Structure 1
Amino acid sequence: MRYAHTVEQVRAAEAAAMAALPDGALMQRAAAGLADAVLDLLGTTGAVYGRRVVLLVGPGDNGGDALYAGARLARRGVAVAAWALSDRVHQAGLEALRSAGGTVLDGPPPVRPDLVVDGIVGIGGRPGLRADAVAALAALDGVPVVAVDVPSGVDVDTGALDGPAVEAVLTVTFGTYKIADLVDPAAQHAGAVHLVDLDLELPPAPVEALQAADVAALLPRPPVDAQKYLRGVVGVRAGSATYPGAGLLSVGGADCGMTGMVRYVGDDLVLRMVQAAHPEVVGPGRVQAWVVGSGSDSGAEATLADALADAVPTVVDADALAFVSPHGDNADLILTPHAGELARMLDVERAEIEARPLEHARSAAERYGAVVLLKGRHTLVVEPGGRTRVTTTGTPWLATAGAGDVLGGLIGALLAAGLAPFDAASVGSWVHGATATAASAGGPITASDVARGLPGMMRDLLRESTP
């Protein structure tokens, strides 16, 4: 699991660690990890001796981390120059850099560097960048940037952007992941994220990101005396004469092997398509979870009402989202909007959702009293109270028609198999993204490709976690 903490949590943990360590020890650990990451990045294209690195240094501790890391790089033969963007830079770090052979600039470097280290502002900085920092970055445009802790200019605790921000190829973060390292749009500026462990004592994190081992541990396994009804039955009410493919793809996601049975209830045309593609799928009957809404068109309201009458956990997608009552008894619901659908649910502009997805997903979870899965590059799963999981699997090729239908069916299967809504949504999202990446292999995919790949992906996860 990757855990992302708030600025307040990190500062408290760092203060406790510094009280127990010699003065400056924590910064030296951070600088050592930063220097190693920079050396690794430089070394991917050849020897590091003689390579040029410019440190953009601001007044905070991130500037100190950059300067001490620069001193280590200089001792390894890297030509390091610090461009100070403040009169109040870390003096001890500056002296360490000079002693190691580094230089100090008061403007753009005379020779274009191989790499820039962003030590402009730290986790306490306000969103956006000052004009001098924007100008410095413009002067170095096109040079790869390594961000210290977080890209300067992002909103660390929300992942939002409010003005210009550094765009890094690598972010070296310390002690724990920061929310901006994982949550878009800030995470899009972070590039790859490398964690340097500082052995901090941290409280529970408000934001998490599942990893393969976590997903494998959460996947339901049938007992030795399993029979099909005990393994769970998932029902799908999706598709219509207008959108038959949505029903077929929803069933494709649900028919992933994680339950004992899949039922389909809906349009006769869709039923014939489902029976042709999935002969094991049966008709109406009792279920442990429902999947409703995808492609339901004008029948969405009635479809949702019929599903909710069974009082079982339900995945609500697409057309049916408009008929979920705020502040209702929605504890067993998983709502799966994209940004446009969530905008309509909250009566805001889509651009607001995309600018502050975490804030709005949390608002929706509170308003509706349900787990909300906000689809995106880094999908967010939020439960009332604010606990959040970020999905970091996936590929841009997954932005294809029908992918959300497959996801809804998969989550419904995990619900029927026994997972709680928060786990079902976050595990389903992770598996969906990982399956798409594997199926893509770097090229185009369709939603059907993802549905076909689900059993194999989960089989691999289960096999790797078997003692």
Structure 2
Amino acid sequence: MMFAKPYSASDEMRYFQTARQFPDVFAPRDADSHKGSHGTLAVIGGAAGMSGAVILAATAAMYLGCGKTWAGFCQTQLPFAVIPERPEIMLATAAQLLQRNDISAYAAGCGLGLDDDARAVLHSVLQRAAGKPLLLDADALTLLAATPELRAAAQAHGRLVLTPHPAEAARLLGIETAAVQADRVSATQSISRTFRAVTVLKGRNTLVADPDGTRYTNISGNPGLATAGSGDVLSGIIGSLMAQGIPPAQAACAGVWLHGAAADLLRDNGIGETGMLAGELAPAARWLRNRMIGLMLRADLGGQN
């Protein structure tokens, strides 16, 4: 998909100013870099009937520049030998993937399921991801809220990103969803303190908070994001940035902004807000990241002259 005229000059300047907040995300690649330079992400989830969630997240990770991406399915055997449209993504069962020692970052929960097998997989993820950046989303958050052992393991992790929607945030805090929505800032900060994690509370003007109280309010995005799989794409984007060595807090803030800005880009190029597909977001986010890298490079070179 091409974006010949995505926004006006004033919009581009606004995007450029926002991108300036995330210098590591929008830095150009070294000329001698290779796939190993840009990290390996393990995306784990995709129980039977929910394989698409892992595929969406893993695809987004590739589009956002991850060197290598594994899709690990919470199933006894692979649902297919290869993803026809995305053969770049390596496939494994969750059990197989959790035996690997070459993973830079993990993203777990997309379509994971809520049964005992899913609980066991999440326990293994928390163990294997010790010392590595780890994003937990969707079913992983529900399991975390309901299982004291998992909760304790998550609190001890130290490099954790949680990406709840309001209902998941309510489960993590043991309160009603309406209470979360009534004070989204307090809810986000409370989750971050409780789990010693970067927390992304999704919704209009998505909030990001880290344990020390630093908060970011996102202004990109539109109702087109209210579509199945949108959250999986966000998990893939943030996970990809973490695998590339971006610190979790910056990866979360930049990932949220790119995700929303990609939706704005699609809307402004004639896709519209109604019927926007989650799978359309990652190519738009890739275009935007590269556009901002180019603009920043030119601005930096101009400042040196």
Please indicate, yes or no, whether the TM-score normalized by the shorter chain is above 0.5.
yes
Are positions 1:277 and 2:85 aligned together? yes
Query: Per-residue deviation at 1:328?
Result: 2.4
Query: Per-residue deviation at 1:288?
Result: 0.4
Rate the CA distance shift 1:231–1:221 in 2: closer, same or farther, 3 A: farther
Q: Which residue of 2 aligns with 1:66?
A: none
Asked if the contact 2:234–2:255 (Cα under 8 Å) also holds between the matched residues in 1, the reply is: yes
* Deviation larger for 268-277 or 366-375: 268-277
AA at the equivalent of 2:263:
A
Are positions 1:211 and 2:18 aligned together? yes
AA at the equivalent of 1:277:
E
RMSD of equivalent CA atoms? 2.0
Query: Per-residue deviation at 1:464?
Result: 1.1
Are positions 1:233 and 2:40 aligned together? yes
CA distance in 2 between partners of 1:388 and 1:259 (Å) = 26
Counterpart pick for 1:325 among 132, 146, 151: 151
Q: Which runs of 5+ in 1 are unaligned?
A: 1-209
Describe the superposition over 1:55-97 as per-residue Cα deviations: whole angstroms up to 9, x where unpaired: xxxxxxxxxxxxxxxxxxxxxxxxxxxxxxxxxxxxxxxxxxx
Rate the CA distance shift 1:274–1:339 in 2: closer, same or farther, 3 A: farther
CA distance in 1 between partners of 2:26 and 2:201 (Å) = 22
- After the TM superposition, list the runs of 4 or more consecutive aligned residues in structure 1 that deviate by more than 6 angstroms: none
CA distance in 2 between partners of 1:238 and 1:423 (Å) = 24
Tell me the matched-pair count: 258
Asked if the contact 2:105–2:243 (Cα under 8 Å) also holds between the matched residues in 1, the reply is: yes
Asked if the contact 1:395–1:437 (Cα under 8 Å) also holds between the matched residues in 2, the reply is: yes
Q: Which residue of 2 aligns with 1:314?
A: 134
AA at the equivalent of 2:205:
H
Query: Per-residue deviation at 1:400?
Result: 1.0
Q: Which residue of 2 aligns with 1:259?
A: 66
Counterpart pick for 1:300 among 101, 107, 118: 118
Equivalent position SS for 2:178: helix
Equivalent position SS for 2:200: strand
Equivalent position SS for 1:315: strand
Q: Which runs of 5+ in 2 are unaligned?
A: 1-16, 92-96, 145-149, 299-305
Which of 1 and 2 has higher RCO (CA within 8 Å, sep 6+)?
A: 2
Q: Percent identity between the aligned chains?
A: 32
Asked if the contact 1:240–1:247 (Cα under 8 Å) also holds between the matched residues in 2, the reply is: no
1:79-228 to 2 correspondences below 5 Å: 211-215=18-22, 218-219=25-26, 221-228=28-35
CA distance in 2 between partners of 1:224 and 1:306 (Å) = 37
Rate the CA distance shift 1:376–1:287 in 2: closer, same or farther, 3 A: same
TM-score relative to the length of structure 2:
0.79
Rate the CA distance shift 1:256–1:268 in 2: closer, same or farther, 3 A: farther
Q: Which residue of 2 aligns with 1:376?
A: 203
Rate the CA distance shift 1:384–1:239 in 2: closer, same or farther, 3 A: same
CA distance in 2 between partners of 1:390 and 1:328 (Å) = 24
Q: Which residue of 1 aligns with 2:249?
A: 422
Query: Per-residue deviation at 1:391?
Result: 0.8
Rate the CA distance shift 1:435–1:422 in 2: closer, same or farther, 3 A: same
